[in-house]
Amino acid sequence: MKKIFLLITLAVSFVANAQELRCNITVNHQQIQGTNQQVFDALKKSVENLMNNTRWTDMTFKEEEKIDCSLGIIVKKYEDNIMTCEMQVQARRPVWGSNYNTPLFNFRDISVAFAYREFDDMTITPDYKNNLVALLAYYAYVIIGYDLDSFQKLGGSGAFAQAENIVTVSQSRSEPENTGWKAFEKNGKRYELISNLLDERFRKFR
């Protein structure tokens, strides 16, 4: 795997086997009553497609090099096409010379909300106007950053910078579901996470 790379400014979907992630998606909607099951099935497929079929960087990953990760969505409320959720995001990598995996990243996001209807367009755009797309792209880059850091000191800085850009862009949106991106928010953990990862004071811990 090439360790020196230039990140693609805007991630692009490819059919070719060059994608970085092998992400297992679960959607738990047991708390929601009276809603058509299809919308949650469609959500799962949409998230799987974006995470696993997008080429997030210009690196080429062989099948066995893909980053194993998981993203669990717990839907707590679905009203007026707005889903209020929690997300549990995890990533791991194999231990060299063994059959074991070691955790890279484990993060619980309790301030997740996004508009979603079946057949919604999940295209990535420079302004990340779709909050679900912004959330998924943010965590994709964070996962890739952690993985690259595990191979090379500060190797994930480029990916983390992409995640920081998503935070910056998302802070300017005013939709009510646009939560968790700002520093002063009670649950602004996404901002806090990426700010700490790129803070010069914390470089020695990466």
H or E segment at 72? strand 67-79
- Alpha carbon 26 to its chain's center: 14
For 54-71, the pLDDT digits (tens) are: 999 999 888 888 999 999
Q: What's the pTM value of the predicted model, to 2 decimals?
A: 0.89
User: Given a cut of 60, is residue 36 above it in pLDDT?
Assistant: yes
* Encoded tokens for 201: 């004071």
Closest C-alpha among 117, 27, 107, 111 to residue 73 = 27
For 123-164, the pLDDT digits (tens) are: 999 999 999 999 999 999 999 999 999 999 999 999 999 999
* Encoded tokens for 199: 């803070």
| Cα(162)–Cα(128) distance, integer angstroms | 12
Judge whether 91 and 147 are in contact, CB under 8 Å.
yes
Looking at residue 70, its pLDDT comes to 98
Interacting residues of 150 by C-beta distance below 8 A, sequence separation 6+: 93, 104
Judge whether 144 and 56 are in contact, CB under 8 Å.
yes
For 80-91, the pLDDT digits (tens) are: 999 999 999 999
User: Given a cut of 50, is residue 15 above it in pLDDT?
Assistant: no
